[in-house]
DNA sequence: CTTCAACTACGGGTTTTCCCCAATAGCTCC
DNA sequence: GGAGCTATTGGGGAAAACCCGTAGTTGAAG
């Protein structure tokens, strides 16, 4: 692992909270992963639960990247589709040969992308989901061998990348979002847990009118029309947790 | 890895769909993991985010297991709590020393459980959450060394165990996401977008009473007390998007 | 053919939320 | 010391949500 960035140092791999501002150049990071493990291409796709947008970092050629984006393939890409429904890594050879598969993979082949690969899904606490994909042009035999060797490491890489991306994303959001006061967060958190205003008033030993004020204030700060919307936004922004 | 069950065979680790009915004796599997990696104890806890149910397989003594269950510690266990909110593994030394922490860890100490450990969170596509915890009584120095050595493998073990558990029939019922109907999702989605019941009725060209029925039904399926809670859960499970 | 889930709709009544209003106290920052 | 923010409490009233029912249609599954 000596050639990889410091985030790969064993002691730091899971110790992300203490990391300094490590390379936010995720693409560069993926190149490192690709070279280290002898892969053809490495790609990460993440979905922002806030706006449903799909974004990614890839080592693919710009041509394919462009084509993929232009065609809106992220909407039908069977690798993403399947990864969304799986816990364990998905080998592409398992994918159903439906029209979507053919559309994407035939095009990919024309752009010189290997059809052999797999996707490792990762999930976070806010409904966020990511997928780390790798491709290889090795023979089936060698590919299976390579998979066996790198699968364990890639599982960690996937978690790591996703964690970094989500952190940087929610961090930037945090800077843009009005900071909710402690009380507002508390009230919103309890609301997310299914409590009524009166319940929360009892829990916090304050008046139900005060609870209402905090909720109203939270709604305003989140530009939410209803409390339900405010709860949804707060959760997706990582301000509170689903109860 | 030669001493571990076949599920550990490299080629099969991620290739779960082709696995026969492998050992459903998860506890036995955890013992293997413990011995293989030189740990004191290994525990897996699965959580149903919808109804809050927690179940687990552990290598702990029966005494501690009993006590833990009787005390309802799964409701306040800070390791589970933190793991629910994290993507990356959580070292227990990072946990806040609050009352819950003290309650659980002081008792654990009395039962001879090591206070040093970490929990690796895993998530599945249905909002299901699992956590693989390990403990060790090594010196801080050796513990850090051990962590570094096993973290990558344990990440895979965690995914694997969680996948096995979710796939197993007995528990899939407990965790299976209630399938919300199309209408329920639509109504919930609009609610998340800040629309009132009447708004949604107009948008979907149906009666406001019908909208209410769908919302009620969605709440029931999500075991939510309020619509706000239902929206939060649906978002965190990726069923709908925040509006 | 029966059963069941989903979608649709309505009534009556209770509870809760939401909105606009006003007011006091503490705290920090300039 | 005042300006501004936060936390707190309150009233009154309108609006919305929620609960407990009933009930018809459709389509799929058994």
**Is the pLDDT at A89 greater than 90, yes or no?**
yes
Least confident of A16-30, A63-77, A220-234, B117-131: A16-30
- Which pLDDT score is estimated for B50? 62
* A vs B: CB pairs below 8 A: 169
Question: pLDDT tens digits for chain B (243 residues)?
Answer: 333 332 332 222 222 233 333 334 788 899 999 999 999 999 999 876 665 667 788 999 989 988 998 888 888 899 998 998 899 999 999 998 988 899 999 999 999 999 899 999 999 877 788 999 999 999 999 999 999 889 999 999 999 998 888 777 544 544 455 678 888 999 999 999 999 999 899 888 899 999 999 999 999 888 889 999 999 998 888 788 887
Provide the positions of strand D that have an atom within 7 A of a protein CB: 6-11, 16-22
Q: Which of A13, A88, A128, A171 to mutate to test the interface with B (most CBs of B within 10 A)?
A: A88
Q: Is the dihedral of CA A167, A173, A175, A181 positive or negative?
A: negative
> Quick one: A90 exposed, middle or buried, by C-beta within 10 A (0-12, 13-18, 19+)?
buried
The A residues from 82 to 101 touching B (CB cutoff 8 Å) are: 84-89, 91, 94
The domain locations on chain A are 13-175, 178-236
- Which pLDDT score is estimated for B242? 82
**Residues of chain A found within 8 Å of residue B144, distances taken between Cβ atoms:** 11
CA-CA distance, A37 to B8, in Å (whole number)? 21
- Which pLDDT score is estimated for A50? 52
| Per-residue pLDDT reduced to its tens digit, A154-172 | 999 999 999 888 877 654 5
| Per-residue pLDDT reduced to its tens digit, A230-240 | 999 888 887 88
| Per-residue pLDDT reduced to its tens digit, A211-222 | 999 999 898 888
- Which pLDDT score is estimated for B8? 30
Residue with tokens 């050879």: A93
How close B29 gets to chain A, by Cα (Å)? 18
A13-175 shares its CATH topology with A178-236 = no
Q: Per the CB < 8 Å rule, is A14 touching B231?
A: no
**Is the pLDDT at A63 greater than 70, yes or no?**
yes
Q: Does A18 touch chain B (CB under 8 A)?
A: no
- Which pLDDT score is estimated for B239? 85
- Which CATH fold would you assign to the domain A13-175? Beta-Lactamase (3.30.450)
Query: What CATH number was assigned to the domain covering residues B178-236?
Result: 1.10.10.10
The A residues from 19 to 38 touching B (CB cutoff 8 Å) are: none
- Whether B92 contacts A15, CB under 8 Å: no
Tokens of A73: 């393939």
């Amino acid at each position: 692992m000596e050639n990889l960035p410091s985030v790969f140092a064993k002691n730091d791999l899971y110790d992300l909270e203490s990391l300094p501002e490590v390379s936010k150049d995720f693409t560069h990071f993926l190149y490192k992963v690709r070279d280290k493990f002898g892969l053809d291409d490495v790609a990460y796709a993440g979905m922002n639960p806030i706006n449903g947008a799909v974004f990614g970092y890839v080592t693919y050629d710009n041509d394919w990247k462009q084509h993929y984006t232009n065609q809106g393939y992220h909407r039908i890409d069977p690798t993403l589709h399947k990864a969304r429904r799986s816990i364990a890594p998905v080998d592409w050879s398992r994918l159903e040969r439906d029209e979507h598969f053919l559309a994407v993979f035939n095009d990919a082949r024309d752009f010189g992308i290997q059809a052999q690969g797999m996707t490792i899904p990762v999930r976070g606490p806010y409904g966020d989901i990511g997928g780390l994909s790798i491709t290889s042009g090795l023979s089936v035999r060698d590919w299976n061998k390579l998979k066996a060797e790198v699968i364990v490491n890639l599982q960690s890489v996937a978690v790591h990348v996703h964690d970094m991306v989500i952190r940087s994303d929610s961090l930037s959001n945090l800077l843009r979002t009005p900071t909710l006061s402690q009380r507002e967060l508390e009230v919103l958190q309890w609301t997310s847990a299914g409590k009524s205003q009166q319940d929360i008033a009892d829990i916090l030993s304050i008046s139900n009118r005060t609870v209402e004020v905090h909720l109203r204030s939270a709604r305003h700060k989140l530009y939410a029309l209803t409390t339900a919307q405010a709860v949804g936004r707060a959760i997706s922004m990582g301000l509170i947790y689903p109860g």
